[in-house]
Structure 1
Amino acid sequence: MIPRVAAGALVLKNNKFLLVKRMDEPDAGLWAVPGGKLEYGETLEQCAVREIKEETNIDIKINGIASITEIILKDFHYVIIDYLAEYLSGSIKSSSDAMDAGFFGIDEIKGMNVNKTSLKLINCIINNEKLPVNIIENK
């Protein structure tokens, strides 16, 4: 199995984070940073912008790399580059592989079922840790 490359973005608007409820595995039904697979010929930044638009109908501005995540599971190996981004325009409308989407404050996120890697990234941002963060999930 060849590892896949994906990109996403942790989008901020008024001190709230954009999250999507995943429709597909892994982590179906959990809230996560939106993103998806890199397509041939596009840059990682283009992929992140496209995926956020497809999943949430939101236009964003990329501000830099937030994290590099490696997830290696039994039949799943992804390298994910998540960017830090700001909201530009658009009304949230979940689509593509997102069951739901919204902007959430940290107090709301604490009560949500958020996947491990997204929660770790959000906590790093809140705690003003040095970026990019390296996250490795290996089972």
Structure 2
Amino acid sequence: MKDLPRISVGLVVWREDEVLLIRRANPPFQGCWSIPGGKVEFGETLHQAGLREVLEETGIRAQVDTLIDVFESITEHGHYVMADFSAHWLGGEPEAGDDALEAAFFSLEDALRLVAWDDTRTALRQSAQTRIG
């Protein structure tokens, strides 16, 4: 029997006109750039999970603004249902932490070029079009 789908969350965190990315330490897309995020733990809301993951992976404190979209990934690594949110930076400087090899803010143009997955590029574009301040 296959594992059930896993719920995960990602945050597109903006600091002025720059967006936060991590270089992933683990599969899927190990070594590739993406938005910070991860699995939702039992008892967490999606917002709580996203903020926890951003803090653990990058040291950045953020506030969730709006839902961007829900995406799915079905690979040999599993079936993930990913809720991506726009967020804005509250404090901290990016430093690679849990599950991240690197963490940094990039211009939207650079971020779109760096990320490995089309759905992540879609989330970045949609967030840029609708973001608050």
TM superposition score normalised by structure 1: 0.85
Pairing 1:103–2:105 present: yes
> Residue 126 of structure 2 aligns with which residue?
124
> Residue 50 of structure 1 aligns with which residue?
52
Code of the residue aligned with 1:51 in structure 2: it is E
RMSD, matched Cα = 1.5
Query: Relative to 1, partners in 2 of residues 1:121 and 1:92: Cα closer, same or farther, differing over 3 Å?
Result: same
Aligned counterpart for 2:15 among listed residues 9, 13, 16: 13
Query: Relative to 1, partners in 2 of residues 1:91 and 1:79: Cα closer, same or farther, differing over 3 Å?
Result: same
> Residue 78 of structure 2 aligns with which residue?
76
Whether the aligned pair in 2 keeps the contact of 1:23 and 1:29 (CA below 8 Å) is yes
Whether the aligned pair in 2 keeps the contact of 1:60 and 1:87 (CA below 8 Å) is yes
Whether the aligned pair in 2 keeps the contact of 1:30 and 1:115 (CA below 8 Å) is no
Whether the aligned pair in 1 keeps the contact of 2:54 and 2:61 (CA below 8 Å) is yes
Whether the aligned pair in 1 keeps the contact of 2:29 and 2:116 (CA below 8 Å) is no
Number of aligned positions between the proteins: 128
> Residue 29 of structure 2 aligns with which residue?
27
Code of the residue aligned with 1:41 in structure 2: it is G
Cα distance in 1 between the residues matched to 2:89 and 2:61:
6
